[in-house]
């Protein structure tokens, strides 16, 4: 990740930004790299990790369940606000845009169905990504996705919940 949030002050400022509205959106810079690309000197290795599969679980576990933000705010950060920022919400309809970022009748059905209490552990070896560069391998989460629907079609459906391991995210 670039820049990395190394200091405690950086991380605390980011959490404050989520809570007070300074941060408008959460997005993943899902950056899958081949193992050979990452297995070199730190300064030469490309930035990025795989992040799509853990983003919702991390937000629920670390932001919602800890009281940093509400569940409604999480949905705004992941869906409503990004659609508005890039003009994919209802405002863009008269210019041929799409009605995304909402559950309104007639809108494009891009939906992540999740269970805020689902206990699971991330196993990079079960990842759908071609890459394996993820620091969350083996970490347990409270809350996570069950299915993803894109344009009204189910594109990902979780199997039975993964057993939670002892390592915490």
Strand order in the sheet with 140-150: 111-121, 140-150, 153-157
Apex 11 CA angle, 26 and 47, nearest 5: 65
Bridge-based pairing state of the strands 111-121 and 153-157: unpaired
Candidate list 20, 29, 37, 61, residue with the active-site label: 29
Q: Is 10 a catalytic residue?
A: no
- What tokens were used for 143? 């809350």
φ/ψ of 11, rounded to 5, equals: -65, -40
Residue 143 near residue 56, CB atoms below 8 Å = yes
3-state secondary structure at position 114:
strand
- Among the listed residues 115, 28, 20, 113, the one whose alpha carbon sits nearest the alpha carbon of residue 65: 115
Active site (catalytic) residues: 29
């Amino acid at each position: 990740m670039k820049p990395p949030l190394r200091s405690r002050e950086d991380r605390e400022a980011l959490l404050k930004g989520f809570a007070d509205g300074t941060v408008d959106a959460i997005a993943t810079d899902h950056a899958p790299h081949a193992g050979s690309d990452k297995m070199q000197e730190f300064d030469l290795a490309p930035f990025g990790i795989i992040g799509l599969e853990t983003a919702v679980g991390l937000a629920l576990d670390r932001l919602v369940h800890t009281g940093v933000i509400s569940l409604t705010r999480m949905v705004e950060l992941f869906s409503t606000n990004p659609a508005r920022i890039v003009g994919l919400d209802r405002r863009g309809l008269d210019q041929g845009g799409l009605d995304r970022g909402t559950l309104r009748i007639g809108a494009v059905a891009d939906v992540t169905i999740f269970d805020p209490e689902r206990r699971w552990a991330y196993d990079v070896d079960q990842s759908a990504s071609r890459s394996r560069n993820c620091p969350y391998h083996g970490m347990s989460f409270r809350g996570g996705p069950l299915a993803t629907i894109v344009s009204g079609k189910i594109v990902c459906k979780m199997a039975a919940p993964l057993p939670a391991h002892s390592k915490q995210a």
